Amino acid sequence: MQNGSASILHFAFCILHSDAPPCCDIVLRSTGTRLADRESGGVFVKPVVRTFSVVGALLFLAGCGSSRGVAAGPVSLDEEWQLGYQMAAQVARQVHIVNDPLALAYLRDAGERLHVQTPVAVANRPFEFEIVDDPSVNAFSIPGGHVYVTTGLIATAGKANELAAVLAHEISHIVARRAVKEIEKQQPISVIDAILLGHDPSGLQTLVTQALPGGTLARFTRTEEKEADDKGLDLMVRANFDPHGMLDFFQRLIALQKDGSSAASRYLADHPGTQDRIDDINERIKKMTKTSGIVDEPEFQAMRAHFLNVG
């Protein structure tokens, strides 16, 4: 890709008119978005509305400067989203995904209200939100915009803004590309390419195992957790959720722990420093100019009651 404003505008024009040049990994079609890998032929993802803002196009063009598509590291955003769909297909074989239309409709609506506030949404990157049939209190995410929450977490969260806090936290990890950066540290580029091309199913399975709760990709440092909390609070405010939900949820986990419950043990193991984080969140909220917003919604309570009854 050539340098200069004229070149950027030319590429933006091409993308906006579904005529992206070969250097760009994204090919827009009238029925949806194809994440195109130049070697493998690409992978199709769900249809999306065919709109692409100039800002989104220019942000996306920042990833077209090298053959792999992103200057920040060897794995481009296109490749991350492709990898995410490959991993999600494996996750669906290893956990019990809940197929409850009403519950999924609310979860995805709440998740999307948060997702649209992120830079990856501007770049037209879709997110998926799923419910795992598991009585433990947990949530996790994998690369490429896939967020999972357990039925136990939904039943434990007292209000809609507590669930929103969990979703915002996991979304923030994905936006920061933490799992992808860790994969880049662990795996040679040749292995990552082989996985993307479908030539290394065992390597793909290893990544999935590491991304599930308890795995190395699901564990974050205290600094990383604090950053995700901070970004998550910002997302909540921008999506009009009361940020106190994050504080309330962690206080709820502490109460479970003090009562001797093991329901939240895995979540607390993968998300360290809970009391320190409560203190940090409390101080952060005190400094925020806006601390009001949606606290609860009837759709959340209906979903929560359903999983309390079936649990």
Does the pLDDT of residue 41 top 70, yes or no? Answer: no
Query: Whole-prediction pTM value?
Result: 0.75
The residues, any chain, with a CB within 8 Å of residue 172's CB and separated by 6 or more, are 227, 228, 229, 231, 232, 235
Q: Could you give the residue numbers annotated as active site?
A: 170
Q: Which residue has the higher pLDDT, 164 or 27?
A: 164
Which range (189-193, 257-261, 303-307) has the least confidence?
257-261
Q: Please name every residue paired with 34 in a beta bridge, in sequence order, or none if there are none.
A: 27, 44
pLDDT in tens, 94-133: 999 999 999 999 999 999 999 999 999 988 999 999 999 9
* CA 186 to chain CA centroid, nearest Å: 21
pLDDT, position 94 = 94
